[in-house]
Structure 1
Amino acid sequence: MIRRLWRFLQPYWLTLIRPSTSLSLGLLVVCGFIAGIIFWGGFNTALELTNTERFCVSCHEMRDNVFAELKDTIHYTNRSGVRATCPDCHVPHNWTDKIARKMQASKEVWGKIFGTINTREKFVAMRLELAQHEWVRLKANNSLECRNCHSADSMDLTKQSERAAIMHSRHLFPGEKTCIDCHKGIAHRLPNMAGVPGWN
């Protein structure tokens, strides 16, 4: 069987590795360069299209569950008019981190394909697990997505509540904790937190 497959593929392989008799090396290099630019442009365009709120809420699982919840938070509507969209919080801005996150998110597509969270009931049942994945990710990267907009250096503690100022001074500034340690549920409803370590 392998021999038959090799006989079938051999002419194509020989054509691929044999030097061109009619095209110059320069033309092949230029064509390869142009093809590379087209591929790279297409890849980046597709990547950026998947980094939009419109893309994120194009499936009903996100639109009807977490996006609907986001609309009731300060990250969606606020006095300054600054809105955090899905990719602002769930996709790193740095290119290499973004690619790593996209690869990780490709696993999440299985949930869509196999209907893991295709109803409200299934979503609610999986909510704690889904939230914990995000909390672990944010904890591991020191709440990078939060820090893309919020800077500890720019915080004016005098404009914060007394409790917030104390907590930020005591835990955030020294690096003992990161944003997600205290701000779980800031943009989405919390799941049932029974049994979650450090949660009262």
Structure 2
Amino acid sequence: MKVARARRLWDALHDFFKSPLNGVLALFGTVVVLGLSFVAAEELNIRGNSTAFCISCHSMSAYVYEEFKQSKHYTNASGARPECGQCHVAKRFWPAVYDHIMGTHDLIEEYSYDWSKPENFEAKRSAMAEKARLKMYNEDSHTCRECHKMEAIAPARKRGQRAHEDAIKKGRTNCIACHYNLVHKEAPLTEKFSQAIKGFGG
């Protein structure tokens, strides 16, 4: 029976595509559907990267966002303020899709763990910080580089100037290796991350 159905479907498609016009219409319809799907996916990607979307979760609005508001990434002389996704999600479309898929784990955590108490969040801070830091490190801090150009950075302090000059000279310019407590509340380094950045002098 299944073979007969498949045969009838094949015959129907064969008859349909006998007409050149039908072939053109089918091709046009496919292009339109694919185009609309891509536009919809891109729009979802943009909205999913926004700070408004991220802080719709309790743990983000109550803890992480409040920390972000105290940082220089939130208020600074240039007036530039990145969205959450600009730091934590890849800019290119398909890598961004991958990041969003992997982010479903965070969504599961949001609804399966009690984030109502600050001490519960603190209990997981170190592990969450390690995950974010290692991701950025393994991606060579590419999201940082979307806004910051190493050669254009002019640290105010002598120590920072020397560190940047040395990093450029040695070609070791993975931002997160030194700037791992830049935006959110300070979290101690884990052994795994410490080993990863060994030799950067951060």
TM-score bin, normalised by smaller chain: 0.7 to 0.9
TM-score normalised over the length of structure 2: 0.80
* 1:12 Cα deviation from its structure 2 partner: 6.7
What is the root-mean-square deviation of aligned Cα atoms in Å?
2.8
User: Is contact 2:49–2:83 with CA below 8 Å preserved after alignment?
Assistant: no
Partner of 1:19 in structure 2? 12
* Aligned position for 2:42: 44
Q: Counterpart in 2 of 1:94?
A: 92
Gaps of 5+ in 1: 1-6
* Counterpart in the other structure of 1:169: 165
Cα distance, 1:139 vs. partner? 0.9
For residues 7-156 of structure 1, the aligned pairs below 5 Å read 17-20=10-13, 21=15, 24-115=22-113, 117=115, 119-156=117-154
CA distance in 2, matches of 1:126, 1:16: 55
Provide the secondary structure at the position in 1 that maps to 2:103: helix
TM-score normalized by the length of structure 1 = 0.81
Contact map agreement 2:130 2:190 (CA 8 A) in 1: no
Return the offset for 1:73: 0.7
**More deviation, 21-30/101-110:** 21-30
Contact kept, 8 Å, 2:130 with 2:189, in 1: the verdict is no
What percent of counterpart residues are identical? 21
Instruction: Give the ranges of 4+ consecutive aligned residues of structure 1 lying more than 6 Å apart after TM superposition.
Output: 9-12
Partners of 1:145 and 1:22 in 2: how far apart?
49
Q: Larger deviation: 108-117 or 130-139?
A: 108-117
Question: Partner of 2:174 in structure 1?
Answer: 178
The one-letter amino acid of 1:19's match is: A
1:168 alignment partner AA: H
Q: What secondary structure sits across from 2:90 in the alignment?
A: coil
